[in-house]
């Protein structure tokens, strides 16, 4: 073979070798990633040939596949779409899967390893393959009350069973209709996506209960109170409560809300300081306790801890940098770099409600095979014990005072004591404050803990978020026949 032919042959051999290597990389090394990529509509099209499992709440299907007469055999529908959109997400031919449609896709699509025997049986029997069902912990009455309370505002609500960690409600607004993103008309899907993701409004696909974090404001005072109680303070311990606190080594003056006075004597009991949410008292208290005590207690409650999925991914909550006593004073009232998710706030309240034991939150109660047999059952799991039962009892006493005679009056429920804490967090100059409430009821036998966040509500946690929390808890008890 002459030299030119040899070079051509070698070049062709090298190209074929590279082609074979690339095919193997795509088919073997990258196969799982490519298959799981939400943009891979070929896989989605294949899945449309089988009946996808349902997402179920209290016996009702909130996401279900129905037969069609078109090229794709099944259509994903959402009977109460906007009510549960933050949880279900969508199953879209154009945009892929999100939220539970993504997190539990293997079960819903019938591809989970625990359904292997079922798939083999389908091959031999000729039975049409089908996906399994995902049964959630949500309480319809709680979910409906949460979404009704958030109507017209941007925010999120999380409600928990304090004793188990089961998520009773998870709401986020604004919302959208996942059915319109899950149709079989790509043009209509894209048009609806353009409509809901315009620049003039918040993206409704963001689950504001878990996917973002926010300055908690005075909610953080519960954590500082817990640190103080662990250090030997009592609810009736008198602490400084000046009208104006000049932060150490600065000329910065920290004031109370609306420049109000906490007490004419410039000091008050710890329980009274929490009841009226005195900024200067808690800023000074945090400084007196020291950064280590404040940070350790925040971390004990779960801040600065990598949050595991529920199975939806959850954003981190954190304390942030504290470079000086002045920064510590601001941190101690939930400002500066402190950030919490709504879920984390609910977990703080639930921990106090559960005698100081924090349970792992979970959204999925059961996974069912297509024949409705149980393939997985979630057992409650203890995460940590941030505070003693004694401290939890004292915090409960203080939080009951907040609702009974302080900033949280709007969360009261007739016939029972409610424990809670309001929060009003400054964002930046010219932007309305964020509004918070977290609490639980009944105070003497907690059955539900709730956190409410309203972005840029413009008022206070007491007049914006507390009424929503009261409505959610009331709905729960009415639904239980109480």
Q: Who contacts 192 (Cβ-Cβ below 8 Å, separation ≥6)?
A: 177, 180, 181
Q: Which of 92, 182, 218, 407 is catalytic?
A: 218
Query: Residue written as tokens 């896989």?
Result: 43
Determine the Cα–Cα distance for residues 467 and 255; give it in Å rounded to an integer: 26
Q: Who contacts 34 (Cβ-Cβ below 8 Å, separation ≥6)?
A: 26, 40
Pairing of strands 155-160, 96-97: unpaired
- Residue 432 is encoded by which pair of tokens? 């309305």
Q: Is the peptide bond before 311 cis (omega within 30 degrees of 0)?
A: yes
Query: Are 229 and 394 a contacting pair, CB within 8 Å?
Result: yes
- Supply the DSSP string of 118-176, one letter for each residue: HHHHHHHH-PPPBPPEEEE---HHHHHHHHHHTTTS-EEEEEE-TTT-BEEEEEEES--
Task: Please state, in angstroms and as integers, the Cα–Cα distance from residue 88 to each residue in 141, 314, 389, 412, following that order.
Answer: 17, 15, 36, 32
Show the CA angle centred on residue 377, arms to residues 373 and 383, nearest 5°. Answer: 175
Show the CA angle centred on residue 326, arms to residues 323 and 432, nearest 5°. Answer: 105
Determine the Cα–Cα distance for residues 438 and 465; give it in Å rounded to an integer: 9
Q: How many CB atoms lie within 10 A of CB 327?
A: 20
Show the CA angle centred on residue 338, arms to residues 395 and 258, nearest 5°. Answer: 75
Residue 182 bears catalytic tag: no
Is 151 exposed, middle or buried, given 0-12, 13-18 or 19+ CB atoms closer than 10 A? Answer: exposed
Determine the Cα–Cα distance for residues 286 and 331; give it in Å rounded to an integer: 8
Determine the Cα–Cα distance for residues 218 and 257; give it in Å rounded to an integer: 11
- Supply the DSSP string of 422-461, one letter for each residue: EEEE--STTSPPEEEEEEEESTTS--EEEEEEETT-SS-H
Give catalytic residue positions. 218
């Amino acid at each position: 073979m002459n030299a030119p032919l040899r070079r051509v042959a070698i070049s062709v051999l090298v190209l074929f070798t590279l082609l074979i290597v690339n095919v193997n990389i795509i088919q073997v090394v990258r196969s799982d990633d490519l298959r799981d990529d939400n943009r891979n509509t070929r896989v989605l099209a294949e899945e449309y040939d089988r009946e996808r499992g349902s997402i179920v709440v209290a016996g009702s299907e909130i996401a279900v596949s129905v037969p069609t007469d078109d090229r794709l055999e099944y259509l994903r529908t959402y009977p109460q779409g906007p009510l549960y959109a933050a949880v279900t997400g969508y199953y879209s031919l154009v945009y892929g899967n999100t939220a539970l449609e993504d997190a539990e896709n293997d079960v819903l699509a019938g591809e989970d390893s625990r359904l292997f025997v079922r798939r083999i049986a389908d091959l031999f029997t000729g039975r049409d393959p089908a996906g399994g069902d995902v049964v959630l912990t949500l309480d319809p009455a709680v979910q409906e009350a949460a979404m009704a309370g958030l109507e017209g505002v941007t925010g999120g609500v999380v409600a928990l069973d304090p004793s188990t960690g089961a998520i009773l409600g998870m709401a986020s607004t604004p919302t959208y209709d996942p059915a319109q993103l899950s149709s079989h008309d790509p043009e209509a899907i894209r048009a609806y996506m353009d409509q809901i993701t315009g620049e003039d409004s918040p993206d409704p696909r963001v689950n504001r209960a878990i996917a973002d974090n926010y300055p908690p404001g005075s909610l953080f005072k519960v954590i500082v109170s817990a640190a103080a109680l662990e250090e030997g303070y009592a609810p009736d311990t008198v602490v400084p409560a000046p009208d104006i606190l000049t932060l150490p080594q600065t000329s910065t003056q920290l004031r109370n809300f609306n420049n109000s006075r906490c007490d004419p004597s410039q000091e008050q009991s710890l329980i009274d300081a929490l009841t009226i949410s005195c900024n200067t008292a808690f800023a000074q208290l945090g400084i007196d306790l020291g950064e280590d005590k404040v940070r350790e207690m925040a971390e004990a409650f779960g801040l600065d801890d990598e949050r595991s999925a529920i199975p939806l991914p959850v954003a981190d909550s954190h304390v942030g940098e504290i470079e000086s006593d002045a920064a510590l004073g601001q941190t101690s009232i939930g400002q500066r770099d402190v950030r919490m998710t709504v879920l984390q706030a609910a977990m703080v309240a639930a921990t106090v409600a559960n005698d100081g034991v924090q349970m792992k939150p979970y959204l999925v109660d059961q996974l069912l095979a297509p024949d409705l047999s149980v393939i997985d059952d979630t057992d409650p799991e203890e995460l940590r014990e941030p505070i003693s039962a004694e401290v939890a009892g004292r915090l409960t006493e203080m939080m009951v005072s907040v609702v009974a005679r302080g900033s949280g009056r709007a969360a009261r429920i007739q016939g029972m004591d409610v424990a809670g804490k309001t929060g009003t967090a400054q964002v930046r100059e010219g932007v309305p404050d964020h509004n918070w409430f977290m609490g639980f009821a009944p105070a003497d036998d907690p059955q539900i803990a709730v956190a409410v966040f309203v972005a840029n509500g413009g008022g206070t946690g007491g007049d914006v978020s507390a009424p929503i929390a009261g409505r959610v808890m009331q709905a729960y008890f009415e639904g239980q026949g109480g």
